[in-house]
């Protein structure tokens, strides 16, 4: 099993989308859970590319190609999770905050939420505070989820939460993304911080008493 995890990670490092999709499908066909191949294989690969990017060993165009390979793998594993959908537990809107285009993690979180019975609307990336609030109102959401991957865009989460409080709205809020922490969530008054997709489901279940 370790071999397929290794292959998965390598397909991301090699920025090979055809290969990442094929490996994802092969893993699912052999009975590996979507979360396992994602976390133990593909995510390891994108983290390695992130480290290489940070140390100047790969550049932005290569990082973008690896992200594309990651998107291919995510599509395959998420399609498998969609099939597990259960009865709706709550309504959620989720997006990547304004100024931020990182959406791979968000796609994984959405798939987990859907598979665990949430009705989720993906607001996409580079989502303004106005859009978060408008869409939550329009869809009568229970929860607003905000993903931020840049230290510079985390502040946008604070902006949305401030709007909710200033307008006396009652949406629950969840923040996530690599630079976020429980401490940050407490500081900005978010109802929950989720470290990963699994934790996201647990925290939202707890917030809504499910």
Alpha helices in the chain (DSSP H): 2-13, 17-29, 34-37, 43-54, 60-82, 104-115, 129-138, 154-166, 182-188, 197-207
Residue 103 in contact with ligand B1M, rule: CB under 6 A: yes
Region 169-188 residues binding ligand B1M, contact defined as CB under 6 A: 174, 176-179
Which residue number, 4 or 113, has a Cβ lying nearer to ligand B1M? 113
Q: Which two tokens stand for residue 32?
A: 């590996």
| CB proximity list for 59: less than 8 A, separation 6 or greater | 53
Region 123-142 residues binding ligand B1M, contact defined as CB under 6 A: none
Residue 67 in contact with ligand B1M, rule: CB under 6 A: yes
Q: Which H or E run includes 118? A: strand 118-127
Which residue number, 22 or 199, has a Cβ lying nearer to ligand B1M? 199
Tell me the angle at which helices 60-82 and 104-115 cross, rounded to the nearest 10 degrees. 10
Interface mask (CB under 6 A) for ligand B1M, residues 43-62, using x and -? x--xx-xx--xx-----x--
Measure the CA–CA gap between 80 and 102, rounded to whole angstroms.
22
How far apart are CB 85 and ligand B1M at their closest, in Å? 19
How far apart are CB 96 and ligand B1M at their closest, in Å? 8
List residues binding ligand B1M (CB under 6 A).
43, 46-47, 49-50, 53-54, 60, 63-64, 67, 94, 99-106, 108-109, 145-147, 149-151, 174, 176-179, 194, 196-197, 200
């Amino acid at each position: 099993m370790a071999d397929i995890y290794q292959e998965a990670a390598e397909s991301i490092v090699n920025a090979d989308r055809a290969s990442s999709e094929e490996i994802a499908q092969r893993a699912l066909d052999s009975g590996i859970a979507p979360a396992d191949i994602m976390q133990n294989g593909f995510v390891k690969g994108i983290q390695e590319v992130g480290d290489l990017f940070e140390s100047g060993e790969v550049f932005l165009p290569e990082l973008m190609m690896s992200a594309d390979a990651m998107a291919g793998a995510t599509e395959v594993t998420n399609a498998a999770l969609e099939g597990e959908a259960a009865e709706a537990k709550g309504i959620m809107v989720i997006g990547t905050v304004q100024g931020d285009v990182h959406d791979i993690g968000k796609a994984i979180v959405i798939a987990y939420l859907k598979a665990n019975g949430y009705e989720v609307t993906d607001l996409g990336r580079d989502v303004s505070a106005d859009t978060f609030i408008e869409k939550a109102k329009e869809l009568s959401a229970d929860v607003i989820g905000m993903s931020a991957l840049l230290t510079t865009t985390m502040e946008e989460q604070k902006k949305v939460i401030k709007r909710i409080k200033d307008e006396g709205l009652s949406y629950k809020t969840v923040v996530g993304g690599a630079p976020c922490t429980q401490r940050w969530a407490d500081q900005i008054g978010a109802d929950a911080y989720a470290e990963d997709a699994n934790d996201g489901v647990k925290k939202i279940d707890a917030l809504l008493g499910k």
